[in-house]
Amino acid sequence: MFNEIHEECGVFGIYEEKTADVALSTYFGLYALQHRGQESCGIAVNDDGVFSHRRADGLVSDVFSREEIGHLGKGNSAVGHVRYSTFGGKNPNNIQPLVIRHVKGNLALVHNGNLINAAELRREFELSGAIFHGTSDTEAIAYAIVRERLKCHSTEEAVERAMPEIKGAYSCIIMTAQKLIAFRDPDGFRPLCIGKTSDGAYVTASESCALETVGAEFIRDVEAGEIVVFSGGEIKSIRTHVKKKKSICIFEYIYFARPDSVIEGISVHGARVRAGRILADCCPVDADIVIGVPDSGLDAALGYAEKSGIPYGIGFIKNKYIGRSFIQPQQNQRESAVKIKLNAVRESVAGKRVIMIDDSIVRGTTSARIIRLLREAGAKEVHVRISSPPFIHSCYFGTDIGSEENLIASRCGSESEIAEAIGADSLAYLPADKLCNLIDSDDFCRGCFSGKYPVDVSGASRKNKFDEKIHA
């Protein structure tokens, strides 16, 4: 959790046949997804076509008091969103849900992912008279759907017609006066699943852990390219854009998702344990203790210890009252946050040869500080093992891992050079050809490791594409 990786958001939606406390259910769902975004959040509620919403910077518990939930009132459906932003983070118009009022009705939209043609779409809409209020890709998705909605008979048909226009990663939920619609890009970069409560409410969310939080039983994942419509107490599936091969982001299993979630039938905890076992097989080292960097390094550390026979121990204690270090957009703020969030357990590491398992190294600055904590606590040796291959390319689909010149694996090249740069005695990454063993499948995106992306990214827009325009 102390790396400099950012995943943009988590989405949640609930559909009831009767009037219910959908705002409260969404609040609980967003709480379960808080790890996916900690800068801002929002909830929109539909009560027989009347929309109410609240959006603000801050954690779910800070933004939504009991009184705020009460002000949203009861309703038939609701959507919610938690967000991490890179550029334009303080623009309140970027906070979701986006609530759109058009000639054929209202809709509220939440989105997880990143489009590669958002700048082109935006320019096309602006030239036709559209006015954009924020700098997020989500507005471009909303405009594309509304434009089609004005020409067809239903919102789901509008989504079906708009999907070929919006390219990249998107797991979205739309709320209208009568329906809740969940849809996922044809490559399935970001997860989205469906559940049902005992009283008949349908729930859709980024991760299965959010379903469990509101007492919903997991039904299935939304398939890549599928549109799922919840209306009249039934589910309708539109499969026009469904493909056989999907390309889910492998980092959902390595880092982003909660370990108790199940994505595409694969336990996140199990995938991480397998990563640790593979590391122990491929990258052994003599040591006295195996520790993990909280939180996403812990499961892999357990797997490494089980396979190697080296004892597993608690090497770090984190301050659970502070959010993830990556919630601060500026590097110097993230560095300060690490200092008060993580402490080495001296009794565990003093005088010992330590194997430290982490999920990734991006720039290397945070890893260097964590290793220094272990040295200061008396560790005799620190051997770093990473449960993913090295980042050497940018991501265009919703993970902000920085440009290539800022990635330490691109700058330094060899593992020994990176080890020296971060102050480790040795360093080894999960071999790229072993990634498929984590989920027993080859259907995933590995572009940030290999530079080979599932879709053409040659014309992809930069992360700060709109902010540069605004602030020029």
Residues acting as catalytic residues: 9
The DSSP code for 87 is T
**Side chain identity, residue 221:** D
Could you give the CA distance from residue 431 to residue 452 in angstroms, rounded to a whole number?
16
Peptide bond into 97 cis (omega under 30): yes
Q: CB of 173 within 8 A of CB of 155?
A: no
How far is residue 397's CA from residue 167's CA, in Å, rounded to a whole number? 10
Q: How far apart are the C-alpha atoms of 266 and 258, rounded to whole Å?
A: 12
Q: Which amino acid is at 400?
A: D
Residue from 360, 368, 356, 363 nearest 429 by CA? 360
Please report, as a single letter, which amino acid is at residue 369.
R
State how far the Cα of 249 lies from the Cα of 112, in Å rounded to an integer: 12
CA 277 to the chain's CA centroid: 25
- Cα distances from 334 to residues 2, 303, 354, in angstroms, run 9, 29, 25
Q: Are 272 and 323 in contact (CB under 8 A)?
A: no
